Amino acid sequence: MELNEDFVTKFVLLWAVIDPIGTVPVFISATANHTPHERRRIAVIATLAAAGILLFFIAAGEPLLRAMEVPLPAFEIAGGIVLFLFALTMIFGESKPESETTMLRSLHDVAIYPLATPSMASPGAMMAVVLLTKNDAHTLADQISTAVVMLLVLASALVLMLGAGVISRLIGTGGASIVSRVMGLILASVAATSVLAGAKEYFSN
């Protein structure tokens, strides 16, 4: 019973920081100029890339940050700032700026940015998997469990992205633009929370 509760707790936490539902409007906006076949490829590549990034942080995130003498709160603050800057482009950017149009020429570019990171493998997600797999607080079994839960959440994100075509047809280009800006505002709030939490933890130590 306790094992099931731990699994559910991890799932809820990782669902919140990876935010598969919030990835859908980002996916719709970023793949607006691609064919359905290309969108499916982008979704798969983005999911695999996000999984690779987060698995790397599970395996080597804590030792890497310690080796560089970077405290976890500082990483959280930096990640929040980067996420905030991306959120601003979603809020104030044109519907299809020239930089985005250039980016859309490459499937891999779109899959890596903004989908794999910072949408799915966000700074908050990287921070969460590092904290959930700290070597001095979690056993190897706990770390494997965290990796499995993380992959399940990413699989959910993939399913939602593969079904995004239906959502896109329902809301249209204008609807996607509105959703993108609303999600940008929410993302900015999440980023600000990350910065404040990191600053609070840093100055309380």
Using one digit for the tens of pLDDT, what is the confidence trace for 136-182? Answer: 767 888 889 999 999 999 999 999 999 987 876 776 667 766 766 77
The Cβ of residue 33 has, within 10 Å, a number of other Cβ atoms equal to 12
Helices (H), the chain: 2-18, 20-30, 36-56, 62-67, 72-92, 98-103, 107-110, 123-132, 140-162, 164-204
What is the rounded CA–CA span in Å between residue 90 and residue 95? 9
The total number of structural domains that make up the chain = 1
Using one digit for the tens of pLDDT, what is the confidence trace for 63-92? Answer: 887 888 888 778 778 877 877 876 787 777
Residue 13 tokens read as 């936490």
Predicted TM-score (pTM) of the model is: 0.71
Contact call for residues 83 and 198 (beta carbons, < 8 A): no
| CA within 13 Å, CB half, 19 | 23
- Give the residue numbers spanning the domain of 176: 2-204
Residue 12 tokens read as 């809820």
